[in-house]
A and B are shown apart, each in its own frame.
Chain A
Amino acid sequence: MPELDRRHFLKLVGASAGAAAAAGCSDPVEKLVPYVIQPEEITPGISVDYASTCRECAAGCGLQVTTREGRPIKLEGNPNHPINRGALCARGQAAIMRSYHPDRYEGAMVRKGGVLERASWEEALSVLTARLAGGTGASLRVLGRDPGPTLGSLIDGFIGALGGDPATQHLVYEPFSQEAIRKAAGAVFGVETLPIFDLSGADLILDFGSEFIDTGPSPVEHMRQLAEAQDLQKHPEGGARLVYVGPRLTLTGSNADQWIPARPGSEGMLALALAKRVFDRALKSGREIPGDARAVARALSGVDPQAVAREADVDPATLDALAEELMAARAPLVLPPGVAATSQRATASAAAVLLLDALLGAVGRGVHLPERETAAVPASFEQVRRLVQDMQAGRVDVLLIHGTNPVYSLPAELGFAEALESVALVVSFAPLADETSERAGLVLPDHTDLESWGDLAPRAGVRSLVQPTLRPLKDTQALGDTLLAAGRALGDRVSGALPSGSFRSVLERAWSDTNFRTALATGGVFGDTRGGRARPITAGVANLEFREPQLEGTGDFVLVTYPHSFLGDGRSATLSWAQEIPDPVTKAAWQSWLEVSQATARKLGVDFGDVVSVDTGFGSADVPVYPRGGIRDDTIALAIGQGHTVGYYASLAGDGEPGVARGASAISLLPARTDESGGGAWLVTRASLRPTGGFRRIPLSQWTDNQRGRNLAPQVSLASLAAGDDGGHGDDDGHHGGNSVASAHFEHTEAGVVAPFDRENDARSDSPYRWGMTIDNDRCTGCSACVVACSIENNVPTVGEEGIIRHREMTWIRLERYNGDGDLRGGEERRPYPDREELGVTDVRIVPMLCQQCGSAPCESVCPVIATYHTPDGLNAMIYNRCVGTRYCANNCVYKVRRFNYFDYSQTRLPGLLGLMMNPDVTVREQGVMEKCTFCVQRIQSARQVAKDEGRDIADGEVRTACQQSCPTQAITFGNTRDPKSRVVTRVDADQNRSYTSLPTLNARPSITYLTQVKRGAGEGERG
């Protein structure tokens, strides 16, 4: 044994004990490794923005991808882009998580022994090429989303090179294809393209259920146009009045000034009846009919407006008044039915609306008819049906599926999933696992859209580029490159017919007519987006057959299936934010719910959350009911989008129940029916209801829509606004418990109305800034883009179904939804009680509620550790590291905007690589601390640093909060209230009569001033 004396022994013991103790009590060492060779454009700590294109829906909005150190951390709208002009909807913003999603495939997958297994790309590709080499080109089919012009022609070229016919073998598939409107335009105007609607110049908008605010063809654009048409500065007389026709109060209906709850499916006949009135009047007054008057007369010959009104369950007087209003309006615009109203007579319905538009002279003004469509025209439902028949008959050998999930989105009756069995090789290019890719024999995962090159031409005049902003995180390959590689592997015969080089070089060549680099920087090439010219009504209109649609089935109720505001056709169900943001109308999240009328609920003896079985004869589903006043008694409604069985968030996999569907799929209830023109129909069946006795809590973020006369969401009519009233909130001191917004609350100074913004004590007297915000409730549509923008900017976690059920949502901004002024009823229930909706009444008030950054904040004084305090420029700052979590501030916050970290969400709610999405400028909060809106203090700080470097103050508009940036209607203005010329102050100045603060009697001195919502009554606007 070697010498080990006592001294040496003690030394060793001491050293090892010390080492053990040191190792035990410190975290593992993590080194920050700097760039060895720093990329030219990247400065650590400074974000770089790239222009790209959003692929979450068909609208084709431009993106501005904010990246930090090579990682996209936020999606914003591209200000150059003509469609969205800087704004971006909730879905589009949530799409950022696709790249970091736990559902992503790690690499190529090959089915071996019935199970998808990871394989090398060579192996996977050889499976495809072996099959392609063996078969004929005619047995190949490609089914996918609009691939964009360049990838589209590559796919076509690939099919052609194999000897196939791209025209029949490449199917672009959009579940909500708008086939009916396209065909209707063909019938009425003789040009079969999708009309483009421009709301901005209208003074009366009649919406037959297009749902242009949330799920229409281009929500961001249409919201912006609506706000423009209703801008009270531009239109002091009040701006556009919005009238909504539909069986249930949707988000668009909530924003309307009038709601006509017509029987579902009667939209077309109502439009026709209105057209008849307009036509008759025009004939009488001798006004010119824009087009073939004889054909119009023939089309309208059998129409009896009185009978139509009765059939549609609409008061004939209402219809007459509406007709009068349309005729009196300067620039009326009528929008055709959307998905939920696509019946088997959808083409005729849309045609009736377009006819009405034409008769009202809206064509060329609000309705634009492009000569051609630049976006890929989706295959009609009939074509998809033929594909399925081909598959069943074994005529399809290889089926390539990309960017779409037909197993989910096609009605079960069509048998697509079963037909897949008959296809020798199903190849999915899905980067994220879905129902279709899980059934494929081969998965060759595409890059996500943030990792890809590509382009899109959503409409004439818009050529938009998609550029990668992230190096592929998984072992994926771009679809274009996969096809090119397959072509090369198939030999010269095929590769010779395909372009050479990588897909990126193909793209660059395709854009060779323009400066590619400049186009990349701006996001694309943008021209006149409307295009087209006014066209006359053609004789084709007389060939249309107008009548009420027949519904299948024998149930008591008409089943309305409508696209979920944030899940769309179901493709966004995998995005946790799309699931988490409460539906703007029902305030429900993460689940399916069946809307029934309160009378129906009473008749069935069910209440909130009681599960009923919906049976259409084509399928059935167990869904909890949501009784509401805002739906017809003969109608029930179920959102499309839930019911996925694959996906971390889309199914219950993330909640520990893989393979179990989240909610119910509305599509599974529907038969495969088409309208006259072969487009898919969604309003096709009746359903019967049967209580099951079960109960499933609907996760609701808000339990009541009754504001109890507290004037939290006031409304003012145009008449009283013109008369100089302050929104009806000065006259209710007595019966609203003294919580009125007295106009005296605003101090009128020489600089205009700067108070309640600017009190001496609300910020330090020597500070040049006192940050404040103005929110125009009249512009707010409730689209929730701000909620997602805020959450992604500020690393706010989602809390999931259980979290919402327990009122533990973390969003820093929420949209409160009230109906009417409210009364003192309610509050006793242990169940939700949104009971203030009434059929045919739309009086919805939506108030964005976020931290009011009070001048005299109740939260600050009670915090024992000064974790929340007042900054010199008037913000209520939070020091997360100091917070011990007494939650006193949250109790004392009268606006209830403080959020508590009940769990360690940063650990539990960020599976996969989602942690990479975090904004490094914002602290990720620990379990047990409070958090809240900071007015995007990180943005203020970076602007302050720039301004300081340049030796100046922060300019007005230099800091834009995330919510403000994303808002499609620019309802939110942020700025320095100490500067009387700043937009935030001048906006209040200009609209003093509409300004109010929330809960003024408590004297918390909030720094947010709201502008009251305006109700535009019929005929009121004309006085101006």
Chain B
Amino acid sequence: MTPPPPATAMAEMIRPRKTPKDSKINLDILSVTKGTSLSYIALVGLAALGVTQALLTLAYQTYEGLGIAGYQAPVFWGVYIITFVFWIGIGHAGTLISAILYLFRAKWRNAINRGAETMTIFAVITAAQFPLIHIGRIWKFYFLIPYPNQRGLWVNFKSPLIWDLFAISTYLTISLVFIYVGLIPDIAIARDRSTGIKKLVYTVLCGGWQGTSRQWKAHNRTILHLAGLSTPLVLSVHSVVSWDFAMSVLPGWHATIFAPYFVAGAIFGGFAMVLTCLIPVRRIFGLEAYITDYHFENMSRFILLTSWIVGYAYGMEYFIAWYSGVEFESTSFYLRAFGPYWMSTWMMITFNFIFPQLLWFKKLRTHVTFLFVLAFFINLGMWFERYVIIITSTSRDYLPSVWGLYIPSAAELSILAGSFCFFALFFLLFLKVFPIIAITEVKELVIHEKMHGEAR
């Protein structure tokens, strides 16, 4: 974790260009939820269409069998698991920002934490569907859940897939609670500014928030405790996901470095996704006053740091493959770089390690268009990182007689596209229902700044 920047420098950087009034903040941020432009409807429609086609593909796959996907011995995991790991990874930045940075009192997070948390929730929900899409008999998915039954059947607690189940459901639960608790004061503001059925919904959701100091005290305490609870989850979830691979015997999977490597990768990819989501939102809704260059620069620093961790992991994997002297390992890694999937590997290295080095330049760290493009490549690179890990390792394992290739099928790509549409759809809908920037926390910042600004 990066240490928080010194307080003075930070205070300087967090200052919005003008200090708006409370009511203006309310209006500015809530304006995002007001009205629906034609392009917004078009976007939602597009996303809904994407989800629909994926659902149809899934129905066809359920009827016909997983043969319509690209699986072929010896590669039994493919795009679905890759995409699962990808979205789980995305879901990390949110909690990191809302919990860990909260505990570190990195106040700059306030402007972006709602966006990041939202992204987390929808990313995890998107991810959670993939294990089900992936399994051969989706209609028997409940076999994976340890529930008491008369047949005395139980799940296998030794299997990392069961750990996954617990890790993800815990993470999703905590994240949901976290974002909801954080939303309560903002919902109350929305309640006060809406009418009719909307008002009713907001009233119910904000649970009678009055803004009393007692309530604020309880609220802050809850957030603090939730942050404490979430912090280990940031590390645990992706560690557990990485054990899906690390606990196996495959060369290229069976490595102790996997847990930290995956966590760093997840934060890396998660921040890239935050950029991908927030840059257009800021531009479209004119939130430049709240999400500033300073935020982008800080996120860029995170990306730069984690790109080095990821880069180190890449290098270390190769070093160990060579240093261990195990032919299975060295062959696997040699063919990872120069075998049939060399392009994916080099894409991964280029996008995840080489491109982010440009962030050493301050100008680029605050150049929003550049960041958007870079974030796109990092997202791509992170997807390919999982592709490389899963596909190259399985396709070149112990018995050369069964070596084969995996090529994603149209069905898998359809569902992959559907997952992005699903994510986008819910993110877009969220924008219109709840404030994408934590209003009360931004106000806190403003007050904070006023007090300290005068003192300066």
Contact = CB atoms under 8 A, between A and B. Distances in A.
Contacts of B318: none
Contacts of A737: 325-328, 330
B67 A862 contact: no
A707 B400 contact: yes
B191 interface: no
B249 A704 contact: no
Contact of B154 (A738, A739, A866): A866
Nearest to A865: B143
B401 interface: yes
A989 B134 CA distance: 46
Interface stretch (A41-49, A167-175, A530-538, A893-901): A893-901
Interface residues of A, number: 62
B216 to A, nearest CB: 44
Interface stretch (A259-267, A361-369, A517-525, A881-889): A881-889
Interface stretch (A272-280, A563-571, A826-834): A826-834
Contact of B400 (A708, A891, A904): A708
B264 to A, nearest CB: 24
B137 A702 contact: no
Interface string A736-772: 1111000000000000000000000000000000000
Given A900-B66, A927-B65, A929-B136, A827 B159 contact: no
Contacts of B326: 737-738
B151 to A, nearest CB: 10
A703 interface: yes
Interface centre among A817, A862, A899 (most CB of B within 10 A): A862
A901 B71 CA distance: 11
Nearest to A881: B140
Contacts of A902: 65-67, 71
Contact of B338 (A738, A828, A884): A828
A9 interface: no
Contacts of A710: 327-328, 398-400
A818 B72 contact: no
A892 B397 CA distance: 10
B344 interface: no
A830 B65 CA distance: 26
Contacts of B396: 827
A920 B67 CA distance: 26
Contacts of B394: 891
Contacts of A888: 76-77, 159, 161, 244, 248
Contacts of A999: 398
B155 A865 contact: yes
A390 interface: no
Contacts of B249: 858, 892, 894, 1002, 1004
A891 B77 contact: yes
B403 A704 contact: yes
Contact of A866 (B77, B156, B331): B156
Nearest to A999: B398
B156 A864 contact: yes
Contact of B143 (A703, A858, A882): A882
B143 A807 contact: no
A891 B250 contact: yes
Which of A702, A708, A884 has most B Cβ within 10 Å?
Answer: A884
Contacts of A708: 327, 331, 400
B141 interface: yes
A575 interface: no
B65 A891 contact: no
A824 B331 contact: yes
A776 B399 CA distance: 19
B208 interface: no
B135 interface: yes
B260 interface: no
B386 to A, nearest CB: 14
A928 interface: yes
B64 A830 contact: no
A704 B400 contact: yes
A863 interface: yes
B368 interface: no
Contact of A892 (B134, B250, B400, B405): B250
A404 B153 CA distance: 56
A926 interface: yes
B353 to A, nearest CB: 23
A458 to B, nearest CB: 37
Contacts of B400: 704, 706-708, 710, 712, 818, 822, 827
Interface in A858-876: 858, 861-866
Interface in B110-155: 131, 134-138, 140-141, 143-144, 153-155
B226 interface: no
B16 interface: no
A736 B159 CA distance: 32
B340 A895 contact: no
Interface residues of B, number: 57
Given A737-B327, A827-B335, A891-B248, A885 B66 contact: yes
A816 B71 contact: no
B265 to A, nearest CB: 20
A818 B67 CA distance: 29
A818 B250 contact: no
A806 interface: yes
B45 interface: no
A887 B71 contact: yes
Contacts of B59: none
Contacts of A1004: 249
B247 interface: yes
A494 B401 CA distance: 63
B136 A927 contact: yes
A828 B137 contact: no
Contacts of B405: 830
Contact of A862 (B137, B140, B143, B248): B248
B250 A900 contact: no
Interface string B387-409: 00000001011111111110000
Contacts of B403: 703-704, 827
Contacts of B325: 737-738
A862 B399 contact: no
Contact of B67 (A703, A809, A822, A903): A903
Given A887-B77, A892-B250, A864 B65 contact: no
A905 to B, nearest CB: 9
Contacts of A829: 340
Nearest to A815: B401
Contacts of A816: 399, 401
A904 B137 CA distance: 11
Contact of B73 (A807, A818, A928, A1002): A807
B410 to A, nearest CB: 14
A439 B209 CA distance: 89
A890 interface: yes
Contacts of A882: 143, 153
B158 interface: yes
Contacts of A896: 73-74, 397-399, 402
Contacts of A555: none
Interface in B328-342: 328, 330-331, 335, 338-340, 342
A892 B327 contact: no
A849 interface: yes
Given A818-B401, A884-B141, A808 B340 contact: no
Given A708-B400, A737-B328, A885-B136, A807 B72 contact: yes
Please list the 4 inter-chain residue pairs (A to B) with the smallest Cβ-Cβ separation, ordered nearest first. A885-B136, A737-B327, A928-B136, A902-B67
15 contacts: A708-B327, A710-B399, A808-B73, A816-B399, A824-B327, A830-B405, A863-B156, A866-B154, A886-B131, A894-B397, A896-B398, A900-B73, A901-B136, A926-B137, A928-B138
Given A807-B72, A884-B141, A894-B249, 15 more contacts: A704-B401, A737-B325, A739-B327, A817-B401, A828-B339, A829-B340, A864-B155, A865-B143, A885-B66, A891-B248, A896-B398, A902-B71, A927-B136, A928-B136, A928-B137
